[in-house]
Amino acid sequence: MGEKKKVTMIGVPMDLGQMRRGVDMGPSAIRCAGVKEKLESLSFEVEDLGDIPVEQRDDEKGLYTSEKLKNLTENAGANQLLAEKVSSIVQSGSFPLILGGDHSIAIGTLAGVAKHYENLGVIWYDAHGDLNTEETSPSGNIHGMPLAVSLGLGHADLTNIGGYTPKVKPENVILIGARSLDEGERALIREKGIKVYTMHEIDRLGMTRVMEEAIAYLKERTDGVHLSLDLDGLDPVECPGVGTPVAGGISYRESHLAMELLEEAGILTSAEFVEVNPVLDEKNKTAEVAVALIGSLMGEKLL
């Protein structure tokens, strides 16, 4: 037997990227659902670095510094810390697994990962595009902006996290599961030529073909691939504990298949699972789905 493969987990109890309370408990919920035990059962050596400190939200004090970019300073501060931690995990040769928290944490994750690759590929598994900027965002919630920020679009306090921008090129990004896009996001997808598999394509082509195409596309042009999986990519029937549920999502079985195909392809170099909100959940069901998907992604087989 060679050395055990290493996974290093880090939790980000971030709830500043949106308005609903409870998503800061996501990392705890995923740990309670047995993520470490699951990975250890798959023969990984698992290190859990605990949680990144995130400033507590104090709605009384008006932490919303700007209606356009709510909690900008606090969000940027936590993401900068996350970027440094993630970068050191990659450097150590371990697989970074980040647990959220709202999707704004992808800003820090990608800032930490992308500097170690020439051409990082990103699979954005999500009901939403997260491609808003302060100009296009209907809400000012930063969790709707992380992919735009990572492409170098948005407020400098966010785009320059990690000391460089952009983190990824639009041609190296694939959206899977999209079914709720704002007008500004649609325009940006067209303008940048971002590859998107909406629910229409998943229904029409089937998940196997979608993933095979996505994998072949990224294999050609990238030297590492990050998976950013928002649990609201799945149907709310399967994952009720998310802040922005959109009906008609990817099924539990399709998601397992997608994870298994990714694992078989051997292209994944980092991953994050975000938007688990136990306050909105039923008996920790959504965190349990997250752990089951992490299992498939890391090589769990039925036989």
Report the binding-site residues for Mn(2+).
103, 126, 128, 130, 230, 232
51 is catalytic: no
Numbered residues of the known binding site: 103, 126, 128, 130, 230, 232
Count of other CB atoms within 10 angstroms of residue 237: 13
Phi-psi region of 48 (alpha: psi -120 to 50; beta: other; left: phi over 0): beta
143 is catalytic: yes
128 is catalytic: yes
* Annotated catalytic residue within 15, 24, 74, 143: 143
**How far does the chain reach from its first CA to its final CA, in angstroms?**
21
* Residue carrying the six token digits 């037997």: 1
Question: How far is the C-alpha of 281 from the C-alpha of 270, rounded, in Å?
Answer: 26
256 is catalytic: no
User: Which candidate, 279, 264, 249, places its Cα nearest to that of 216?
Assistant: 264
116 is catalytic: no
CA torsion through residues 154, 195, 198, 101, sign? negative
* Annotated catalytic residue within 130, 185, 235, 254: 130
Tell me phi and psi for residue 175, to 5 degrees.
-95, 135
15 is catalytic: no
* Annotated catalytic residue within 24, 134, 254, 275: 275
Residue 95, beta-bridge partner list: 7
Question: How far is the C-alpha of 68 from the C-alpha of 280, rounded, in Å?
Answer: 26
102 is catalytic: no
* Annotated catalytic residue within 232, 260, 272, 300: 232
Question: For the residues of 15-49, what is the DSSP string, one character each?
Answer: -TTSS-TTGGGHHHHHHHTTHHHHHHHTTEEEEEE
Tokens for 235, please give them.
């149907």
CB within 8 Å of 42: residues ≥ 6 apart: 295, 298, 299, 300
Residue 9, helix vs strand vs coil: strand
CA-to-CA dists, residue 49 to 3, 25, 150, 160, 228, angstroms: 21, 16, 24, 25, 19
48 is catalytic: no
Residues with catalytic annotation?
Answer: 103, 126, 128, 130, 143, 230, 232, 275
